[in-house]
Structure 1
Amino acid sequence: MVGIVVVSHSRRAAEGIREIAREMGGDARIEAVGGTEDGRVGTTPGPIREAIDAVAGDGGGVVVLVDLGSAVMNAELAIEEADATEAVVADAPVLEGALNAAVAATSPTATVEAVREAAEEAAEVSKL
């Protein structure tokens, strides 16, 4: 199964997004990473790497969703350091992308590419 990591500059935001995505994705493996290790707003690679490794599980790969610019850089650093065989950052809105990714990840034939594409499709959905 493909794992999902939600990265936000805010721990509460990341956990809230994970909560909503779990409602849609049921059995999907989703980790939330937010804030810095000392509790401030921001991101650091270490906790992101740990989350990637935690959801990598059976080698199904990982899709990472991020909220803002520096989270992309830290997620990419974390991916380089992670043990996961395949991990990618999705260019997707974090909440809507996490919902789509969670649903796609529950498919028994899910691939990292398919879950990433599902997350990125969320950018095309109009809210009005």
Structure 2
Amino acid sequence: MVGVALVSHSRDVAAATAELAKALVGSGTPAAIGVAGGVEDGGIGTSATLIRDAIKHADAGRGVVVICDMGSAVLTVKALLAETGASALPEGVRIADAPFVEGAVAALVTASAGADLDLVLSATDDARNYHKI
């Protein structure tokens, strides 16, 4: 299955969003989801090390969709995607341009149904474009 990695400035927000997304998958086994929230000491921020670990946890060889909350989370993932050589992220890692919670749910539900990377990214696009009024 395609994996999902959540990158937030807050460990609590990332963990709670992952739990919500897993709960909304329903019956069956959810796709792998990696969580990178905050920095190593538990504070607010982003950590390249935690992001790498989350992507590695989510990677089952069919791609990983990364959902970021804002600002430096996006910049850190983009910097990691630009790396080459031994430090490079696995092939098939993509950032979704989606709201954090809605994008996480859409990505995990779609990935858990066995969709490929393009379909999972398409589901996050739908989450971004969904109007609430």
Give the superposition deviation at 1:77.
2.6
Counterpart residue number, 1:112: 117
Counterpart residue number, 2:8: 8
Aligned residue pairs, count: 126
Would the aligned equivalents of 2:4 and 2:58 in 1 still touch at CA under 8 Å?
Answer: yes
Quote the Cα distance in structure 2 between the aligned partners of 1:37 and 1:14.
14
Would the aligned equivalents of 1:87 and 1:112 in 2 still touch at CA under 8 Å?
Answer: no
Quote the Cα distance in structure 1 between the aligned partners of 2:49 and 2:88.
9
Q: Secondary structure at the match of 1:22?
A: helix
Paired letter, 1:88: R
Is 1:103 the counterpart of 2:106? The answer is no
Which residue, 54, 57, 68 being the options, matches 2:70?
Answer: 68
For residues 23-81 of structure 1, give each alpha carbon's deviation from its aligned partner in whole angstroms, at most 9, with x where no partner exists: 12342211111101122211021110111111112x11100000011100111233344
Counterpart residue number, 1:45: 48
Paired letter, 1:107: A
So what's the TM-score if we normalise by structure 1? 0.90
> Any gaps of 5 or more consecutive residues in structure 1?
none
Give the superposition deviation at 1:83.
4.2
Percentage of matched positions with identical amino acids: 40
Q: Secondary structure at the match of 1:126?
A: coil
So what's the TM-score if we normalise by structure 2? 0.87
Quote the Cα distance in structure 2 between the aligned partners of 1:88 and 1:35.
20
Rg larger in structure: 2
